[in-house]
Structure 1
């Protein structure tokens, strides 16, 4: 073998090994096996191998680009789906807070037979809110932020509608905290001479079906 060819062969082999290191994505054989295989090739075979490596690398690059594009698209779609789901859940929570939808869950039922006034009922509702109630009904009426409980003409009005006892309050929320609040409320009420009876019960599956009619915003608009 001429000296020039002997010098060129290791150089070509080194170039091919470098190409394999840089371009090959899936390595089937160990690096030592690749070197032994390359050393057994002549220059013509090595040239073809280099061309094959270039073509394979181009194909892999195209596949990588396509997969990256697909990944980004799916990632974007996934983020959008997560965002949409979060927005939908938030909208549903807002409707529950506003009393626009029926609600179901664990909580307590407090029953009081007594001539309670508007202040008594406001205190009872506030105690349940403080105990973590997420939804409340009183005398079959949904109670939300902004609900007006007042006395007029010797009767109690809830948002302008007359209600009377015996009183039933249904509160859905943290069952443990609401049970504690129900126990404290009924014990306090039973000490009141006006109260004929006061009791509560915890229930793992309560339903509040009453809803509030949605009113359009006329004056309070987003800037």
Structure 2
């Protein structure tokens, strides 16, 4: 079997050290890279992301990250998006009236959360669906969120032609948003597993176990 290899995609978005360390601790060999082939060939690809949607997409496109993600998924190769790294997988993001095209792996719009207090910052529980692999053993745990934007409406219709994605929800200030998605080789979380203590570590181990 050997140890699975994970590439953490470096496209100029934020502090990646904590993500690298967390994935290493969860049992993978980790390479921090912006190289097309390295990111393409690893057993798993982790796409982090902090900050503004438009800036993240610009950085991603600069290293052809959108093409790396698309090509990996076409070959059934696992990808995990975290925080803005999840948001950029949707069709578009709207921030301060500016619309930016995302990777369009899923339909949907990333928009400001409609809650009295934004950003949503701190620990929160999630509503994980029946059959989840990502949250196996940590369904009832709390995870660490820090974000002002999210996907508030899941619009993908599969009409039973393909297996419907498993969507996990969370709530903040009365507003519901997508907290995680499991969709074949493409998984993603709005929260930060690398900042979520033991629960986040178990979640990363669950992902690495699929590689």
After TM superposition, the score normalised by the length of structure 1 is 0.23
Q: Higher strand fraction: Structure 1 or Structure 2?
A: 2
After TM superposition, the score normalised by the length of structure 2 is 0.24
Q: Which has the larger radius of gyration?
A: 1
